[in-house]
Amino acid sequence: MNTLGIDVGGSGIKGAIVDINAGQLVGDRIRLVTPDPSTPKAVAKVIKKLVKQFDYQGPVGVGFPGVMLHGVCYTAANIDSSWINTNVEQVFQEETGNPFYVANDADVAGLAEVRYGAAKDFKGVVLVITLGTGIGTAIFNDGVLLPNLEFGHLKIREKDAEKRASAAVKVKKDLSWKEWAASVEEYLRIMEDLFWPDLIIVGGGISRNHAKFFPYINIRTKIVPAQLYNQAGIIGAALFASISHSFKAS
């Protein structure tokens, strides 16, 4: 089954058709700029444009940067605050006419890595960290997700972790790989002391450069790069939509 997956980020909105059976993109990925301000009306217009470019009809999955409960957004750290208490699924469905299934962006990226990627068939506690505009986190135990864990906002020396160790911080402060890795290690040490994971997966686009910063990170937990890199959010969103739509129809 081919399903459209969309990853909404602070700087870009990316989408692609996904072969759910294979966990792979079908055709090209399209990236559009996240509007500023990123209000519901503005983002919905970009989503509509994306759906039209794929000439797609059917269920659509979205990874969204906030806590999501039953289609409603309850936090908005890297997107306009007007999204809080907004039914994201309803907004996108009314704009496009397609059924939408929306979940936290880190959660869907983690789902993709557990189903198809670095944690496929892995037993134990897996912590997925996505490093991008912010920091996304997802935790799985034997493949089962505990949703909406916003540990990118964990305080480190009175500042949100994502203000110290996200990929955006590296760019903004023009840090070397070694300098930035020190902040990432500090964050990962706190996370492993809290959750004692068996495996940590680092994702986000910057994970393609893992060989440049992993050697500087010294923690007790095994750490590996995401196998799906920054495609994980799109693939996981499509997977989430496929599962949710099938469950709804049954």
Report the distance separating Cα 1 and Cα 28, nearest Å: 17
- The separation between the first and the last C-alpha atoms of the chain, rounded to the nearest angstrom, is 17
What number of other Cβ atoms are within 10 A of residue 244's Cβ?
A: 18
Range list for CATH 3.30.420.40 in the chain: 2-107+231-249, 121-226
User: Who's near 56: CB < 8 A, 6+ residues apart?
Assistant: 4, 17, 98
pLDDT for the residue numbered 249: 66
- H helices of 120-176, in order, are 162-165, 167-173
Cα gap 40→25, rounded to integer Å: 27
| pLDDT, block means (10 residues), the chain with 250 residues | 93 96 96 96 98 97 95 92 98 98 96 96 96 92 94 95 96 98 98 97 93 98 93 96 84
The per-residue pLDDT for 17 is 98
Q: Residue holding tokens 């068996």?
A: 198
DSSP 72: E
Pick the CATH number of 2-107+231-249 from 3.30.420.40, 3.90.79.10, 3.30.360.10, 3.40.50.11540: 3.30.420.40
pTM of the model: 0.91
> Which amino acid type is present at position 146?
L
Q: Which CATH fold topology does 121-226 show?
A: Nucleotidyltransferase; domain 5 (3.30.420)
3-class SS at 24?
strand
* Under 8 Å between Cβ of 67 and 74: yes
**For 38, how many CA atoms within 13 A lie in the half-sphere containing its CB?**
21
Q: Given the structure tokens 């505990």, which residue do they identify?
A: 146
Paired sense of beta strands 100-104 and 60-64, if any? parallel
